[in-house]
Amino acid sequence: MTARSAPDRLLSVLAAFDHAHPALSLTDISRRAGLTLTTAHRLVSALTEWGALERDASGTYHVGLRLWEVAALAPRGLALRQAALPYLEDLYEATHENVQLAVRDGSEVVYTEWLSGHSAVGVRIRVGARWPLHVTGVGLALLAHSPPEVQEAYCEAPLAACTDHTLTDPVRLRRVLAEVRRTGVAVSSRQVTDDALSVAAAVHGADGAVVAAVSVVVPYADARVPVLVPAVRLAARGISRALGWQPG
């Protein structure tokens, strides 16, 4: 077995934390990172001293504020959020429904902002959460504007199902992606939960490339897609202009 490098071991400590495990003991970190207790203790101590981890009075470790400060420098993180937030708030005021902003990371969508709406729709999204691209509106919008080779590789891979309505047929998925490019909007109906529908549109950066997607999530039973489409398009266009995009 090839020995793990020092950076790999260090990153494995940070990777031990996720939404399901936001607080870990040293033993938990050692186990989840696949490290000996001695190695885990040494790396955790270094990360805690730097501020990447914080230790509470009970000895439990949490992600530290220093990582948040570094993350704020990411152009697809807080910088994107700051440019988008006024338009997300406008979309929320227009719909009073769940509004979200997301970016693509490989074959997944990552949520960078979420405004919670008034409806009781079963939303399983939060900031930092990841979902397969094909099951969400923002994911479909991002996948549809990805390079052709990325789309083809995605469609050839197994398509996981969350509900009976999830797109799992690659032929149908290709048709849906083509329709998203034609209309400029993506509609995901009951793909994540049986009671939710989302309408999404792509966000362009200064160079014209798609850098994010914005959507509104509403109860499926009350969804008025023709009313939601222009509101979502307007929000996406506003964010794009704030990022420096000039429509051709």
Per-residue confidence (pLDDT) for residue 227, from 0 to 100: 92
The pLDDT of 160-171, averaged and rounded, is 88
Give residue-wise pLDDT tens across range 39-70.
999 999 999 999 999 999 999 999 998 887 78
Is the pTM of the predicted complex or chain greater than 0.85?
no
pLDDT, tens only, 7-16: 999 999 999 9
- Amino acid 125: pLDDT: 63
Position 115 confidence tier, pLDDT thresholds 50, 70, 90 = confident
Give tens-digit pLDDT for 186-233.
999 888 888 889 999 999 998 999 999 999 998 888 888 999 999 999
Sheet holding 61-63, edge to edge: 23-24, 61-63, 53-55
Question: Following DSSP, what letter does each residue of 60-106 receive, concatenated?
Answer: -EEE-HHHHHHHTT-TTTHHHHHHHHHHHHHHHHHH-SEEEEEEEET
